[in-house]
Structure 1
Amino acid sequence: MINWMSQFSPVQQALIGTLFTWGVTALGAGLVFFFKKINKKVLNGMLGFAAGVMIAASFWSLLAPSIEMAEDLGQTAWLTATIGFLGGGLFLFIVDKVLPHLHMGLDTSQAEGVKTSWQRSILLVLAITIHNIPEGLAVGIAFGAVAYGIPSASLGGAIALALGIGLQNFPEGAAVSIPLRREGFSRRKAFLYGQASGIVEPIAGVIGAFAVMSIRPLLPYALAFAAGAMIYVVVEELIPEAQQGDEITRTDIATIGCMLGFALMMILDVALG
């Protein structure tokens, strides 16, 4: 796979990588053709897994390379990483407060962002779409960094990140389409809405790759920015949703899923990077 990807430019690699992550989102959304509902324990485990992947990716694929690259560029590494990391969180915080969206399991009256009369289905899709933005950026920035030939920015590491993000997108696609099916949508319409939540990833990925290739000193900040945005999503959305439910076993399942997701992403990054 690495040899095959190496024949493309970093922007093309970013596009291929994020088309893959979008495709896995569509696969997850495709579960709606087979199920009308999903067991809450299973969903909690899947969301916990997604959180673990994103936490591991934030450090192994983004923050650690950001610090190393900042040092290579003569920047104050801890300051660069901190500014980028907090900037990513702040960006998602602002988007969260402005863009109308609704988290799973909540009533429409509990929608966040500016007040709107949009349908519940649109609000649910937007909730997932919001955190697909930093995922696409992260993959695009990782591929864009490869262009500079920095040891910590390898093509294998970028591919590992795309694989990890893709794996955790599977439950996210299902988490949109299946609830929509329960609310009366046809299977086809629920699938279309579910996969649409991932369409921002190729867009964000290409933008991220192009941006860091254009301005090299921006690269360490961009990597840390993507890490901060992903951690914000994990803490603000994935973990709380994975912990929903009355049974203590649901919490245990989400925690185990998170541990497994972290371990898998760590293995991918170390093995391929």
Structure 2
Amino acid sequence: MVDFFLELDPLVQTLIASLFTWGMTALGAAIVFTTRTVNQKFMDAMLGFAGGVMIAASFWSLLSPALEIGAGGSSAPAWLPAAIGFMLGGIFLSSLDKILPHLHPNAPMHEAEGIQPKKRKRSTLLVLAITMHNIPEGLAVGVAFGAVASGSSQASLAGAIALAIGMGVQNLPEGMAVSMPLRRDGYSRRKSFLYGQFSGMVEPVAAVIGVLLVTLVEPIMPYALSFAAGAMIFVVTEEVIPGSQEEGNKDLASMSLMIGFTIMMILDVALG
């Protein structure tokens, strides 16, 4: 099975990996079929864990390779492409945050962000919030596999697979973060699940865009890697960490973040 995956076209590998991350989002959303509520401490721990995975992935799988590629790319400083891409990633997500109408889980409707339409649905706003977070995650998976396909010595297929596994694991609480609030609001289990898993559909799309950009325009590779890293760090600091601590479980969320970071670091270094 492993050998079969290794022989596949990079685009197909990327699609399979991103479908896995989408499937993990659906798995998290599927918890509505077993319960109506989830312990708040458990949710905060899962969100903290997700934040740790994303921070570790941003450096070990994206920024570090971007810096190494930049060092051998041109006469410009090695840090320049990584710095530019990283900041552009944050600026992109910040702009999207101001434009795209969305509502963070557990927030009241009057705290909805972005440009608000006249008719607003809580379900749609919740899905858009998590969808916005999934864009950089899908992009990260795509550019990681694209770097391997381009023959970069700083990238490895095992490292790209480790990144996909890490993104998939941290997608579990994201699926729950949409489906569970909707279930508490009175939506049926089926609708809550469908809305929850729908938020992960953007990942295969973003991943395919990422792998195509990197393989077709190889010089942008360090920019693309660091762009995905910057976008993910913005998501972690703007939403994931604050969301994991707003109910008072700060120590639990912080330790869970460290555990997530450690596991993702081990995965990336051991497999990469």
Query: Take 1:18 and 1:148, find their aligned partners in 2: how far apart are those partners?
Result: 19
User: After superposition, what is the alpha-carbon deviation per residue over 1:128-181, rounded to whole angstroms, capped at 9, x for unaligned?
Assistant: 110100000000000011012222110000000000000000111011101110
Query: Take 1:256 and 1:107, find their aligned partners in 2: how far apart are those partners?
Result: 28
Aligned-partner residue type, residue 88 of structure 1: G
Query: Take 1:4 and 1:162, find their aligned partners in 2: how far apart are those partners?
Result: 17
Query: Take 2:19 and 2:120, find their aligned partners in 1: how far apart are those partners?
Result: 28
Say yes or no: does 1:234 pair with 2:233: no
Q: Which residue of the partner structure matches residue 33 of structure 1? A: 33
Query: Take 2:57 and 2:4, find their aligned partners in 1: how far apart are those partners?
Result: 23
Query: Take 1:227 and 1:272, find their aligned partners in 2: how far apart are those partners?
Result: 19
Q: Which residue of the partner structure matches residue 54 of structure 2? A: 54
Aligned-partner residue type, residue 30 of structure 2: G
The answer on whether the counterparts of 1:2 and 1:155 sit within 8 Å (CA) in structure 2 is no
Say yes or no: does 1:106 pair with 2:107: yes
Q: How does 1:117-266 map to 2 (within 5 A)?
A: 117-246=119-248, 250-266=249-265
User: After superposition, what is the alpha-carbon deviation per residue over 1:35-62, rounded to whole angstroms, capped at 9, x for unaligned?
Assistant: 1011111000000000000000000000
How far residue 235 of structure 1 moved from its aligned partner, in angstroms, is: 0.1
Instruction: Please list every run of 5 or more consecutive structure 1 residues that lacks an aligned counterpart in the other structure.
Output: none
User: After superposition, what is the alpha-carbon deviation per residue over 1:228-256, rounded to whole angstroms, capped at 9, x for unaligned?
Assistant: 0000000000000000114xxx1111011
Q: How does 1:81-96 map to 2 (within 5 A)?
A: 81-96=82-97
Q: TM-score, normalised by structure 2?
A: 0.97
Q: How many residues align?
A: 270
The answer on whether the counterparts of 2:72 and 2:78 sit within 8 Å (CA) in structure 1 is no
Aligned-partner residue type, residue 118 of structure 1: R
Instruction: Please list every run of 5 or more consecutive structure 2 residues that lacks an aligned counterpart in the other structure.
Output: none
Percent of aligned pairs with the same residue? 60
User: After superposition, what is the alpha-carbon deviation per residue over 1:91-117, rounded to whole angstroms, capped at 9, x for unaligned?
Assistant: 000100000001122111110000222
Query: Take 2:179 and 2:49, find their aligned partners in 1: how far apart are those partners?
Result: 19
How far residue 72 of structure 1 moved from its aligned partner, in angstroms, is: 2.0
The answer on whether the counterparts of 1:2 and 1:156 sit within 8 Å (CA) in structure 2 is no
- Specify the SS of the correspondent of 1:152: coil
User: After superposition, what is the alpha-carbon deviation per residue over 1:203-225, rounded to whole angstroms, capped at 9, x for unaligned?
Assistant: 00001000110001000000000
- Which structure 1 residue ranges, 4+ long, deviate > 4 Å from structure 2? none
Q: Which residue of the partner structure matches residue 42 of structure 2? A: 42
How far residue 3 of structure 1 moved from its aligned partner, in angstroms, is: 2.9
RMSD between superposed Cα atoms in Å: 1.0
